[in-house]
Structure 1
């Protein structure tokens, strides 16, 4: 077991409330040398997206985080959602639990949805030996939640190693299931109100000056300030619900454990019908206030982040999109960044809700028709893609 300062490193970081500040390298603190980085994604996710399964892809990606949260037993650790997967970091005393939780998700993704999923756990010391780093910051979008931001290129390097088959975590034995308590996907897709939902992915080019990369990120974020609520894709009144939801089967797979899938679907149909009644009427029941819950859901949404680069899912008009693309194209031509953009007509939200009566629920935002995964594919189609592969 590592010493307490290493174990408690992330919990002791002071959250940053200004998103702009996170474009600067000085906002980040290197992970302790004895920590580990975990990574996972779905193999062939673009084909699943083309087949109309992006909500399922998103849920499986979020399941990586959900399983780690439940395995952590209350420990605060950094994680980031990537659309078709996730990245996270943890101290050495948590290694076996993290590996087991990840292995169970890899098996569950195949058993429940036929997804081949890969995962890896990489020592931070080996990332640094490769000449990169993993630094983190905590960003607080609302008074009740904060999200990890990553910099240094190490998380992206770990993902590349995973795709090359190194540091591999094997799936758990047949029949193993992860603890995905709290993982849900009940909100209806959120239609664009300004024109389109724009997924933005901006990655620093190898050798680019950090100050130049930060300047590009500052310019892009500044352009979103002219959009309503900074381009926040969740409506001001919060997300909406319908019944029955078409995502019941996905959530049933996530929450049934080893029980009957049919029984879990019936249970979810009943509980969501009751929940939707209170969301529609806004009637309070006990300590649960649906109006407050929806407001917190909106405010807690993770629609922009730094994950070894800038990622945003915004409700964007055509003029702002053109201005953003012009800035990114100029920066790309200058060898500063690579970028990918992807438009769709709505956004989706996947949630991790430990308790409906607490305000620390996590809400991951992505585009509804490809999102970050399709933006990444747009980068791969650009001439400079070889430099960041």
Structure 2
């Protein structure tokens, strides 16, 4: 069994090269995918629950990573859900964890989480594919890039299974250590743009060619050095009680007293964190002056997760140029896209060690990716109708 497949995978430190098919390797067929999706997330976010949606969407990543410590695992976060791959020998363990995540979402957040495990071999037998590349964001943290249609099919299969499976008796206690949301929103200088781009059906080589052209076009509009949505000068630890209470519900175990105790502990940690970071204090395990610069390097504001997803900042003029550029590709039937614009971004963090080993899932404030998916789905339907019209003619 290829337990260390991802750990040993060659990486790139240049995001733009992730549109090169030569960097991708097929996920071994003795691995599995675990996927999650918060159902009815659009309406939940309309009700102001985007932090809850983000935390529950990412819960399967933290729970499986905390359980499978033998090797490095590839994962990707999508705002209201996630995907993570792992060696097949952990399948039963991951299935119990998936049920545990669903149970936790329902009982503590009143959210319906679809989550489950799909063996990669079943996807391959059905004619689907899962390709993987590795983007090294810093010395200690990498970001997985998933391509091929296998992840989308796995999501569809898991949603179908979850609707029929309401028995949580085989669920396990989940460890969500490291899953945090302790920062205020990061204000954009002008606009924060949440972007989803998916190349229309085509041979995989043609898909990569289009992605390469799209990335080149995007970075002709936006400066790669300044388009990151997270700036060190804008980073402020949150003391908003609503946000801290969300983490308390997520991480505390037991009843209301334990939850209140965790909440009070969290306020204390925020106060000490503020002092340590602002005065560059070092403790036995952590040089806190490094945390913010490492945070920026390890932020996943751009990624390939079956489609290209980005959170970029720029001016209204840049946004209009981007829309015009993508619309031209859409009208040619080459891709489908969705855009949502807001004035700031938020993060959900997975911290394994405060010294360098932490990754930060960036989303637009108010559910940027989820709201961008509304326009994406509308254009996807429109493209299908355009293709049917062409065939009928």
Which of 28, 39, 62 is 2:58 aligned to? 62
C-alpha displacement of 1:208: 5.8
Q: Deviations over 1:99-144 (max 9, x none)?
A: 1221111110111110011112212122123322001011012222
- Aligned residue pairs: how many? 382
1:369 aligns with 2:366: yes
Residues 135 and 155 of structure 1: CA distance in aligned 2, closer, same or farther (over 3 Å): same
1:207 aligns with 2:202: yes
TM-score w.r.t. length of structure 1: 0.91
Matches within 5 A, 1:185-204: 185-193=181-189, 195-204=190-199
Q: For 2:89, what is the secondary structure of its paired residue?
A: helix
Paired with 1:219 and 1:109, the residues of 2 have a C-alpha distance of 37
Farther-moved stretch of structure 1 (259-268 vs 166-175): 166-175
Contiguous gaps of at least 5 residues in structure 2: 386-393
Residues 17 and 303 of structure 1: CA distance in aligned 2, closer, same or farther (over 3 Å): same
Match of 2:390? none
Paired with 1:237 and 1:117, the residues of 2 have a C-alpha distance of 36
TM-score w.r.t. length of structure 2: 0.90
Match of 1:234? 230
Residues 15 and 263 of structure 1: CA distance in aligned 2, closer, same or farther (over 3 Å): same
1:360 aligns with 2:352: no
Q: For 1:258, what is the secondary structure of its paired residue?
A: coil
CA contact (8 A) 1:178 1:257 kept: no
Match of 2:340? 342
Q: For 1:340, what is the secondary structure of its paired residue?
A: strand
1:45 aligns with 2:60: no
Match of 1:73? 69
Farther-moved stretch of structure 1 (66-75 vs 174-183): 174-183
CA contact (8 A) 2:277 2:291 kept: no
Q: For 1:302, what is the secondary structure of its paired residue?
A: coil
Farther-moved stretch of structure 1 (130-139 vs 318-327): 318-327
C-alpha displacement of 1:237: 3.6
CA contact (8 A) 1:216 1:327 kept: no
Contiguous gaps of at least 5 residues in structure 1: none
Match of 1:86? 82
CA contact (8 A) 1:139 1:149 kept: yes
Q: For 1:180, what is the secondary structure of its paired residue?
A: coil
1:323 aligns with 2:321: yes
C-alpha displacement of 1:209: 6.1
Farther-moved stretch of structure 1 (301-310 vs 33-42): 33-42
Paired with 2:25 and 2:382, the residues of 1 have a C-alpha distance of 29
Residues 283 and 153 of structure 1: CA distance in aligned 2, closer, same or farther (over 3 Å): same
Q: Deviations over 1:265-301 (max 9, x none)?
A: 1121222222222223333344432221111111111
Paired with 2:240 and 2:55, the residues of 1 have a C-alpha distance of 18
C-alpha displacement of 1:242: 3.5
Which of 355, 365, 380 is 2:377 aligned to? 380
Q: Deviations over 1:177-219 (max 9, x none)?
A: 41001111001100111x2110110112123663355334443
